Amino acid sequence: MRRFRFLSKHRLPLAQTAVRATTATARAAALAAGAALLLIAALPARAAAPSPQQLQALEAAFNGQGDLAPLLQEGPGLDPAAVQARRQQLLSRFPDARWQLSPGPELPGGRPTVLVQVRGSREDGPLRFRLEAEQQLLLESDGRRINGQTVLREQALLRSGAVDLPVTLLIPDAVLTGQRYDVDVIVDEPLDGAILAGGIADITGDQVAALDSPSLRIGALGGGGLFRVVRAPLNPGEQTWAVLLVHPDGLVSASKRVRVVAEREQLQP
């Protein structure tokens, strides 16, 4: 099993490819965190939801058709300056990134949620990466500006290669403190003799915020994917997992944020 450090230099083409993809994995985790209004927080008491007109204006502003500042106000889990800075960070790495906001599934009690989807691409040497990120958010509004938000679910996929390698992420959205749980990334098509390699890393909140690059062990995989049993922290909060799969047809890196809660009734928002 090889251990790679982000931005380190290796002569083997596969190692070079893995390093590039691993770096992109950490950036995907961090940039997915900045793709929308993103800071984990306790689920707030029920507040007014933004109107469809507010969501349309927010989507337009994220896509460069308007100003974000008049639409946002500092509040629980929401720092407007950080939102704008993260948007610029993402655009600097994925210049063609586009945001789409749409109604999400209602929570118990009828609270509406918002789905934020981000698509973009970037060139990294000979590789072209395609980003697909999605969040489910609970947004608050005072009727004029969005002034609070909570992230309920978040994941991102970053792919390279001429054809998207079909994969499924089987990682829970929320777990109990101290719980052991599965982190599985499955290749949905038969490998037909192809060699699959991969690795996984736990990225801290500080690393996500700072775009820091953790070490990632890359090893040969069997059984059509990556399968790990991990343990949640003993204190409530979050875990973010970064996963890399190296396949002859291309690379797949994925990130998934997992909420860590103390009570079983908190598993479902």
User: pLDDT, tens digit, for every residue of 80-119?
Assistant: 998 888 899 889 989 999 999 999 999 888 889 999 999 9
Backbone angles phi, psi at 239, to 5 degrees: -130, 140
According to DSSP, the β-strands at 127-141 and 225-231 are: unpaired
The helix or strand, by DSSP H or E, that contains position 85, with its residue range, turns out to be helix 80-93
- Mean pLDDT on 4-25: 35
Number of domains in the chain: 1
Q: How far is CA 148 from the centre of its chain?
A: 20
* CA dist., res. 213 & res. 230, Å (int): 20
* CA dist., res. 140 & res. 229, Å (int): 36
Structure tokens at 114: 């918002």
Per residue in 46-55, pLDDT tens?
468 899 999 9
Decide if 268 is inside a domain: no
* CA dist., res. 10 & res. 50, Å (int): 49
Check if the beta carbon of residue 38 is closer than 8 Å to that of residue 139: no
Decide if 16 is inside a domain: yes
Domain that holds residue 211: 2-263
Check if the beta carbon of residue 56 is closer than 8 Å to that of residue 69: no
- Mean pLDDT on 216-220: 82
Closest-CA residue to 233 (of 188, 189, 179): 179
In the chain, what are the helix, strand and coil shares in percent, each to the nearest 5? 20, 40, 35
Decide if 18 is inside a domain: yes
Decide if 125 is inside a domain: yes
- Tell me the CATH number at 221: 2.20.130.20
Decide if 159 is inside a domain: yes
Decide if 269 is inside a domain: no
pTM of the entire structure? 0.77
